[in-house]
């Protein structure tokens, strides 16, 4: 689980966290998740692999404001080797659901060619598959 404390600059004139910040928090949580499973962005990029975002979806349930704490659970929703879908659940410490999100990614080599981690990097593939959350 990744924890984020809402900064003042992340809020709008109404004192509510601007919706775009949740996308940033997803990235923060995703980077931490990958590091925790042994495949941090630095390591993957050193291998010549990049992982662009291809889609994002957010369902906002409750607001956050300055100094709120947000706990973000991260898991793999789906992965077959090329397209990775990651799920996120953001909650306040009291369990209030703030946001349910997902992001989709592909993997490319430094020449911009889409690659299959299942075929070309089975260690990374296996680490990700181990974290698929069954519904």
Q: Please state, in angstroms and rounded to a whole number, the distance separating the CA atoms of residues 77 and 74.
A: 9
12 catalytic? Reply is yes
Active-site pick, 12, 68, 94, 123: 12
Which conformational region is residue 42 in: left (phi greater than 0), alpha (psi within -120 to 50 degrees), or beta?
Answer: alpha
CA atoms within 13 A on the CB side of 78: 8
Question: At a CB cut-off of 8 Å and minimum separation 6, what does 42 contact?
Answer: none
Ranges of H-type helices in 4-102 = 20-36, 41-46
Residues acting as catalytic residues = 12
């Amino acid at each position: 689980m990744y924890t984020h404390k809402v900064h003042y600059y992340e809020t709008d004139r109404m004192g509510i966290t601007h919706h775009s910040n949740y996308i940033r928090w997803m990235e923060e949580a995703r980077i931490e998740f990958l590091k925790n499973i042994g495949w941090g962005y630095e390591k993957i990029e050193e291998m010549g692999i990049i992982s662009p975002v291809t889609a994002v979806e957010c369902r906002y349930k409750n607001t956050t404001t300055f100094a709120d704490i947000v706990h973000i659970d991260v898991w793999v929703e789906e992965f077959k080797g090329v397209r990775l879908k990651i799920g996120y659940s953001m909650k306040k410490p009291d369990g209030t659901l703030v946001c349910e999100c997902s992001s989709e990614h592909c993997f490319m080599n430094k020449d911009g060619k889409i690659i299959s981690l299942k075929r070309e990097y089975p260690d990374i593939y296996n680490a990700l598959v181990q974290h698929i959350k069954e519904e």
